[in-house]
Amino acid sequence: MVAFWGLMKKDMLLMRFWYITWLAFSLICIVGGYIMQDYWNEPSIVVPIYIGLISLQLFLMPIMILHVLNIEGKTQLWLYNPQSSKKLLLAKLSAAALLQVISQLLLVIYGLFLMRFLLKAGLITTFNDFLPFEQGTFFHTALFSTSFYMTIWIVFLWTIYHSLGRYPSLKNFRWLVVILIWIAFGFIEAQLVKLKVLQHNLFSFTANVNVAPSMEYTKGNGWSVVYTDVPIPIVPIILYTIFAIVLFLITSKLLDKKVEV
C-alpha cells in the first residue's frame, strides 16, 4: 500500500502542469465572465461559461493520463520498475481520478457561489431553479464515469500503438491500426445497438431518472430550468463497466511484455 501511494504521488506530480493549467484557465474564464456581465449588464452570461467549464471537465482526466504516459514513455520507467503493470496503471488512473474529483468539487463550490449571484441578480428564485441536488449529483457522477471510461480507452490505445513498435512492418502504420481499432469498435457497437433482440433484453430494464434539463432564459423572468424523466438503461452501464475492466487487464498484459517507446 505504501508503494502504491508513492506511485500515486509521483504521478500526481507529473500531472501537475496540466492540472494547474486547467485551474488557471477556469479562473480566467470565471473572472472574464463576471467582467463581461458587468460590462454588458447581462448577468446571465456567467451561466453558459459555467456550463462550458463543466463540459470541458470531461477531457481533463484523459489529457493528464496521456501526458504522464508520454513522459514515462520517454524515460522507460516501467521497464525497470519492480511493481506489477496493474499496480503502475492503477496508480496512474487513481491519481488522475483523484485530481478530477477535486476539480469537479471545486466547480460544485463555485456553482454554489454562482447560484447566490443569480439569486441576488433576480435571475432565479431558489437554488433548485438552477440545479437541484439530485440532478447535480447525477450529472457529476455521469461526467466522471464518462471521463474515466475515455481514459481507459486512451491508455489501451496508447499501449497498442507502442506495442506495435516491436514489429518493423507495422511501425510506420501504427496510427492507422489504432484508428481502425477505434472505428471497428464504434461500428460493432452501433450494429449491436440496432439489433432488436438486444434492444428488447438490454434496454428494457431501465431506471427513470429526473435529469433531462430544458433551460430557457427570458428577459425579466430570468432562467427557468425544467427537468423531465429519462429512462437510463442499467444493463449497458454494467456491460461498459465490465468492458472497461477487460481493457485495463489487456493493457496490463501488454505492458508486462515490456513495451518500449
Burial 169-206 (b: 16+ CB within 10 A, else e): eeeeebeeebeeeeeeeeeeeeeeeeeeeeeeebeeee
The Cβ-side half-sphere exposure at 28, using a 13 Å CA radius, reads 6
Cell of 47: 451561466
Cβ 95 vs Cβ 6: under 8 Å: no
| Alpha-carbon span 178 to 157, nearest angstrom | 6
| Alpha-carbon span 163 to 258, nearest angstrom | 9
| Alpha-carbon span 52 to 239, nearest angstrom | 29
Using DSSP's 3-state secondary structure scheme, residue 212 falls into strand
Taking 80 as the threshold, does the pLDDT of residue 64 lie above it?
yes
pLDDT band, very low/low/confident/very high, at 134 (cuts 50, 70, 90): confident
- Specify the pLDDT at position 253: 86
Q: Which is more confidently placed, 30 or 256?
A: 30
- Specify the pLDDT at position 216: 59
Q: pLDDT tens, 79-99?
A: 556 677 888 899 999 999 999
Looking at the chain, the whole-number percentage of residues with pLDDT higher than 70 is: 76
Q: Which is more confidently placed, 169 or 103?
A: 103
What would the mean pLDDT of 150-162 be, rounded to a whole number?
A: 91
- Specify the pLDDT at position 3: 76
Taking 80 as the threshold, does the pLDDT of residue 217 lie above it?
no
Identify which of 104, 134, 132, 101 has the alpha carbon closest to the alpha carbon of residue 207.
Answer: 134
Cell of 188: 460493432
Residue 15's φ and ψ, nearest 5 degrees, are -85, -10
What would the mean pLDDT of 203-208 be, rounded to a whole number?
A: 59
Cell of 179: 484508428
Q: Which is more confidently placed, 170 or 40?
A: 40
